[in-house]
Amino acid sequence: MTLSNAAAEILSKLGVDQAAYTGGTLASFSPVTGEQTGALPEATVEAATTAIATAKQAFKAWRMVPAPRRGELVRLFGEELRAAKDDLGRLVSIEAGKIPSEGLGEVQEMIDICDFAVGLSRQLYGLTIATERPGHRMMEQWHPLGVVGVISAFNFPVAVWSWNTALALVCGNSVVWKPSEKSPLTALACDAILKRALARFGDAPEGLAQVLIGGADVGNALVESPDVALISATGSTRMGRIVAPKVAARFGRCILELGGNNGGIVCPSADLDMTLRAVAFGAMGTAGQRCTTQRRLFVHETVYDDLVPRLIKAYESVSVGNPLETSALVGPLIDKAAFDNMEKSLAEAKAAGGTVHGGGRVDTGAENAYYARPAIVEMPSQCGPMMEETFAPILYVVKYTDFEDAIEAHNAVAAGLSSTIFTTDLRESEMFLSAAGSDCGIANVNIGTSGAEIGGAFGGEKETGGGRESGSDAWKGYMRRATNTINYSRELPLAQGVKFDI
Ligand code: UN1
């Protein structure tokens, strides 16, 4: 069966109308074979404007539904996702090229956030605050925010939307989603799965969660609309630089999850067997196309000659191939441009004095599919392309002598998403996690940089954009806070001792 037939079979099983992915102008492809999987009709800017207006009306009704009842919708969504897990996971593999366990893992991440959000729907707590005025009470409430615009990337085509949507829905918001042009079929599938939950729920307002298939003009309509209270955008720093000022200009709110150039330090006391496995998954998993992918490694000079040759061997022997037909651990890059970028960075690394092991195209017989041998590059120092995120499986390795220098070098790049240290020395690990340690939003010990659980807040600092999604108190980004002071006395004392007797 061709992948386009396989995708169509899954979409029809999930209840997606064929007209949604045939006869249109947006061609979708599978990176697994390079074959075309769909031709989707695209939303116009006018359609986007209408969608936002409908979402605004939906918000007005939804914000009045008690939060635990809103949680019931997300509970049903989680149930539907459980039922659709195999199909959706396979569609993610077809459309993003993920190996089966990662495709399924992404859907599991969706289920997990639903469970989290259901609990959260009874825990949208505000504070009661001591007031200085007698006969007064002060408190804060968290209220629904408005329409949430979600802009997502191809590499986590379903999970990132679900983090935003599950939280936005329990928080009382409506959602309009602009998925990546490179992964529109999975977006149609998600929409259909959520619609099943909405049908079972019964009385949710029309247009509560919508999808707009289209290009940058549609994304821009969301970004510029004063009716979109929050833009949650995942993608490149370049994209964030376009989105953030436009949203700021209208005093809208942004959650930005942009590039990562995630580093790690391997200390003298590290468990090298564990380090090897953690780095292998972190750097080569998802063919290096996670925002959390391990891209830089600082290895202490006393363990360098032990670890690095083993890593190079792992890079030489890791299986690269069709994730749907073989048990390969590394699937394809998303497209030719991604492969060309990888080659370009490797050439630049060589020019900067790096020794490149691996890289180059792996032939799977599919002319339009781009599989690459993951590359590990020994760099004389941190410079050149090592300073930038290349969305491909390249790991730069540098030898270090002094721990504090290693932390400084680790923090010397523009992005600040994820980081890790491999050590069994308490002082080193605590230093890395301290205020003077890693400057990233995620800092790990003895695990890789990728594969975060949904329970923690997800996001990073500096050019990563500063946003937080998913767990912990990230929900507060999807609500507005009101501080309320109530006078139940018969007096009117003013704060700060001010007198104003008329
Ligand atoms: C992303 O690549 O945009 O931590 C998200 C991870 C995943 C999410 C990655 N849970 O690797």
Indicate whether 127 and 64 sit together in one domain.
yes
Tell me which residue has its CA closest to atom 3 in ligand 1.
291
Indicate whether 347 and 210 sit together in one domain.
no
| ipTM, interface predicted TM-score of the complex | 0.98
Contact 148, 177 (CB under 8 A): no
29 is a domain residue: no
Indicate whether 249 and 284 sit together in one domain.
no
398 is a domain residue: yes
Contact 57, 39 (CB under 8 A): no
Indicate whether 208 and 285 sit together in one domain.
no
**Rg (the chain; Cα; Å):** 24
Determine whether the shortest distance from the Cβ of 451 to ligand 1 is under 6 A: yes
| Residue 383 annotated in active site | no
**Pocket of ligand 1, candidates 450, 453, 454, 469: which has the most ligand atoms within 8 Å of its Cβ, to mutate?**
450
21 is a domain residue: no
39 is a domain residue: no
Residue 86: per-residue pLDDT:
98
Indicate whether 419 and 476 sit together in one domain.
no
pLDDT in tens, 352-376: 999 999 999 999 999 999 999 999 9
25 is a domain residue: no
Contact 153, 234 (CB under 8 A): yes
The domain that holds 345 is classified in CATH as 3.40.309.10
pLDDT in tens, 98-140: 999 999 999 999 999 999 999 999 999 999 999 999 999 999 9
**Pocket of ligand 1, candidates 160, 292, 418, 447: which has the most ligand atoms within 8 Å of its Cβ, to mutate?**
292
Indicate whether 52 and 151 sit together in one domain.
yes
Indicate whether 145 and 246 sit together in one domain.
yes
Range of the domain at 325: 262-445
Determine whether the shortest distance from the Cβ of 448 to ligand 1 is under 6 A: no
9 is a domain residue: no
Residue 432: per-residue pLDDT:
98
pLDDT in tens, 186-237: 999 999 999 999 999 999 999 999 999 999 999 999 999 999 999 999 999 9
Task: Categorize the per-residue pLDDT at 1 as very low, low, confident or very high, splitting at 50, 70 and 90.
Answer: confident
Q: Which atom of ligand 1 is nearest to the CA of 289?
A: 2
381 is a domain residue: yes
Q: Is 260's pLDDT higher than 90?
A: yes
Contacts with 323 (C-beta within 8 Å, 6 or more apart), sequence order: 32, 93, 97, 98, 99, 100, 331, 332
Indicate whether 357 and 436 sit together in one domain.
yes
**0.80 cut: is pTM over it?**
yes
Scan for tokens 């000022």, then name that residue.
Answer: 245
Residue 374: per-residue pLDDT:
98
Determine whether the shortest distance from the Cβ of 449 to ligand 1 is under 6 A: no
Longest alpha-carbon distance in the chain: 88
| Residue 491 annotated in active site | no
In angstroms, the CA 480 to CA 458 distance is: 20
- Say how many Å lie between the CA of residue 449 and the centre of ligand 1: 9
Determine whether the shortest distance from the Cβ of 155 to ligand 1 is under 6 A: yes
Q: Is 297's pLDDT higher than 90?
A: yes
In angstroms, the CA 268 to CA 266 distance is: 7
Indicate whether 354 and 435 sit together in one domain.
yes
Indicate whether 247 and 294 sit together in one domain.
no
Indicate whether 279 and 165 sit together in one domain.
no
Give me the DSSP letters along 102-138: HHHHHHHHHHHHHHHHHHHTT-----EE--SSTTEEE
Three-state secondary-structure class, residue 479: strand
The domain that holds 186 is classified in CATH as 3.40.605.10
pLDDT in tens, 155-182: 999 999 999 999 999 999 999 999 999 9
Three-state secondary-structure class, residue 325: coil
* Candidates 291, 428, 440, 463; catalytic one: 291
pLDDT in tens, 441-462: 999 999 999 999 999 999 999 9
